[in-house]
Structure 1
Amino acid sequence: MVEMGRALSKAFPSMLALSPADRESCAQDLVDAARASFATDQPHLAIAELTSWKETATAVAAGLSSGSAGLDWFDDDETVERP
């Protein structure tokens, strides 16, 4: 799948912000989502997956990651009031 990640990064340059391992995961996820989209006639599945990975790459390029200092992550069971 390394070759697929490299090929897809030419079509989707935002993937270059991802690590090589994340590019592989991205490529596999996009292929799986495309297959599911074609099989179910639901194109939004592939579009949602592509958008998700593009936003992840944007966040990584901005310096954000799960290990970024200064970020506060909420627990799943914690509720936040609307402003």
Structure 2
Amino acid sequence: MSKIVDLRYGTRRSSELSKRSAEVFAEAEEHPITVTRRDGEALVLMSQREADGRARLLELAAQLITVATDHQGTLAERMAKVFPWMLALSVADREACAREILDAARASFATEQPHLALTELTSWKETAAAVAAGLSNTDLQWYDDPHLVERP
């Protein structure tokens, strides 16, 4: 059986894992590590954060495929079916949201960096929540100079 090792990961032999586990674990917290074995298939050691990010990115990919295969409505309308929180945004913001999430997802898939798409998705979702809570209609007054306030 031929062994394929992904060169994007750091590579360690299984013997290194047993002899220098602290060092290998520290490296795995930074990026995935391929652990090669003489008697079996290579394994990948990664942080839970990394694994969760990849799982969330795959979930987003499935949702975007659903959007792509629906042929009724604009991109923003199709995405609002999958992400109903988008309905709290204005029509213009829904269109911007759809484009920006799709662009960030493409960048994530191309670079294998899940945080690009997940951060964009989370930012827009939180914006929609703030709009739904009425925070978008507030006129803010910014102070140029510091103001003292009483302690609560």
Q: TM-score higher than 0.5 here?
A: yes
Gaps of 5+ in 2: 1-72, 147-152
Higher normalized strand content (fraction of residues): 2
Gaps of 5+ in 1: none
| Structure 1 length-normalised TM | 0.79
Match of 2:82 in 1: 11
Aligned residues between the structures: 74
Match of 1:40 in 2: 111
CA deviation string 1:23-59 (max 9, x = no partner) = 0000000010001001100011100000000000000
* Alpha-carbon distance in 2 for matches of 1:52, 1:72: 23
Report the CA distance shift for 1:39/1:60 in structure 2 as closer, same or farther (over 3 A).
same
Match of 1:68 in 2: 138
* Alpha-carbon distance in 2 for matches of 1:32, 1:3: 16
**TM superposition outliers: structure 1 runs of 4+ over 6 Å:** none
| Structure 2 length-normalised TM | 0.44
Report the CA distance shift for 1:74/1:28 in structure 2 as closer, same or farther (over 3 A).
farther
Structure 1 residue 68 displacement after superposition: 1.0
Letter of the aligned partner of 1:50 in structure 2? L
Report the CA distance shift for 1:73/1:61 in structure 2 as closer, same or farther (over 3 A).
farther
State the superposition RMSD in angstroms: 2.2
Q: Answer 1 or 2: higher relative contact order, Cα 8 Å, separation at least 6.
A: 1
Larger Rg: 2
